[in-house]
Structure 1
């Protein structure tokens, strides 16, 4: 994989390392190129070091060495529901019941397994970079970076709040307000399991914003946006205020209407890691959640 740019008049005279930093090549990424025989930096087709002084009109190309794959990750080849793809990102629609990554006692069947198989099919030499994970039973949009440069850029935009997801959920009972926020710290519930989380004073700060879309006889249909990304955050917060998600038996939700927790990642917007174009994706509710309505 390589990236290239043409230097502008305003960039003339700066050191090559400064030029690359301005184009979002981090110290870590630059080191991976400098200290690997398969990585190199070229200016007008000639290899240069980072102390070269850039001239207006220079064509600068950085070649990244091949990424190391996880040899323990088993490749699987069932088709993925790909919503969008280019050389840098992949947006997919994950079905409920599919984990994002394999676990010790579940080494197969995850998104990561299927991504590895897909990459082998299209000849992409890249590690698996999942930017936005979803719980096994949560359906909807996931964002994947197809290389380390895209992953680093997207991680920074996520920290800056420029990468957002919105969810739809069905919670038991009826909330007092049509909209609001839940602010409560979340930590491990180590007394029960390593997976389960809880609201606890020594947990990490967490904030969940919600808006009611409609009320039904036994539940509220909500739109939810997170300001933090704690494990199980939506599920924990709504259980904490007495309105667990339908189907979420881990956090006290009833399972008569649905065999999995009623949570769907339906909206994703981001700034593209290379072009810095604003991008937005939305998908409808899956059939099992549509059936509840």
Structure 2
């Protein structure tokens, strides 16, 4: 059964593109998916069909017909995963470095989603469709650490709303090049696609607001161990903001120096802490993850 959702545009939201407005309203549903349902004429503004670039106006009445989720086509795979916590609403997974979070065209196997599908069977939210069942947020392939996976649509929406409100505790640790002089630094700079290299993100004037709080844990010769707390969650946010302050992450293949004396498979970045309001109990819960062996080995060598 398809689902019908209705929205009324407020004064503050006037001027947003239709696809941007609906992406914000529909939680973690991808903008490309929103654009598809607009193109398929599943969206009406004041009973009329409009295009994605339509600029919404105050008091516009928007009706969205969300198609029934398709049967999952991504195959479950018996891949070992480190489950930190699980209940009927969600599970917390400690993702290892090198594991892709969800399938993409040309790569439909050996991802975290394949593993979670095997573990949870059909008990995953369907909001993000075939490719990303249960996925509320992502971390990069070469970033290790904590991720939450929603097991039903209610919990998915509840968790996604907290992400949207920037109320989730997300704390990371990393090692960067250079000695960071300040004990604490807050970077409040917008991030968007790098106009010179579409594979990269960058600090750009017309990007989305991004705020990262950095705190030095320990200084070494030529390197620093840093804690980063995210206030927003933009693509590559920590990596881009670290580069912005001239301290790129050790091992970062996109934003860091090409040569390193350490043999690394990617950036030394670990999602250490995750905290949020539980969808059912409405109480704050928090989860922690130890630094992975490769990370601890580097620290030992630096000492």
- TM-score, normalized by the shorter chain, greater than 0.5: yes
Other-structure match for 1:42 = none
Higher-Rg member (1/2): 1
Q: Is the 8 A contact 2:125 2:150 kept in 1?
A: no
* Structure 2: stretches of 5+ with no match in the other structure: 1-25, 27-67, 127-132
Using the TM superposition, give the Cα deviation of residue 283 of structure 1 relative to its aligned residue in structure 2, in angstroms.
1.3
Any idea what SS the aligned residue of 2:254 has? helix
Partner in structure 2 of residue 55 of structure 1:
none
String of CA shifts for 1:22-75, please: whole Å, max 9, x gaps.
xxxxxx9xxxxxxxxxxxxxxxxxxxxxxxxxxxxxxxxxxxxxx845533222
Structure 1 portions without partners, runs of 5+: 1-27, 29-66
Superposition pairs of residues 100-119 of structure 1, within 5 angstroms: 100-119=101-120
Residues 70 and 96 of structure 1, relative CA distance in 2, 3 Å threshold = farther
Q: 1:224 to 1:70 in 2, by over 3 A?
A: farther
Which of 256, 273, 279 does residue 279 from structure 2 map onto?
Answer: 273
- State the SS of the aligned residue for 2:287: strand
Alignment pair present for 1:243 and 2:247: yes
Relative distance call for 1:125 and 1:205 in structure 2 (3 A) is closer
* Number of residue-to-residue matches in the alignment: 226
Aligned to 2:215: 211
Larger mean CA deviation between 101-110 and 213-222 belongs to 101-110
**Residue of structure 2 in register with 1:94 after alignment:** 95
1:266 Cα deviation from its structure 2 partner: 0.7
Structure 2 residue aligned with 1:282: 288
Kindly indicate whether the alpha-carbon contact (under 8 Å) linking 2:180 and 2:219 is maintained by their aligned counterparts in 1: no
* Whole-Å separation in 2 of the counterparts to 1:255 and 1:147: 43
TM-score (norm: length of structure 1): 0.73
Q: Which residue of 2 aligns with 1:163?
A: 168
* Greater displacement, 219-228 / 254-263: 254-263
1:119/1:126 contact within 8 Å kept: no
Give the deviation of 1:252 after TM superposition.
2.2
- Aligned residue for 2:115, secondary structure, equals helix
**How far off its partner does 1:176 sit?**
2.3
TM-score normalised according to structure 2 size: 0.70
Q: 1:269 and 1:108, CA in 2 relative to 1: closer, same or farther beyond 3 A?
A: same
Q: 1:271 to 1:213 in 2, by over 3 A?
A: same
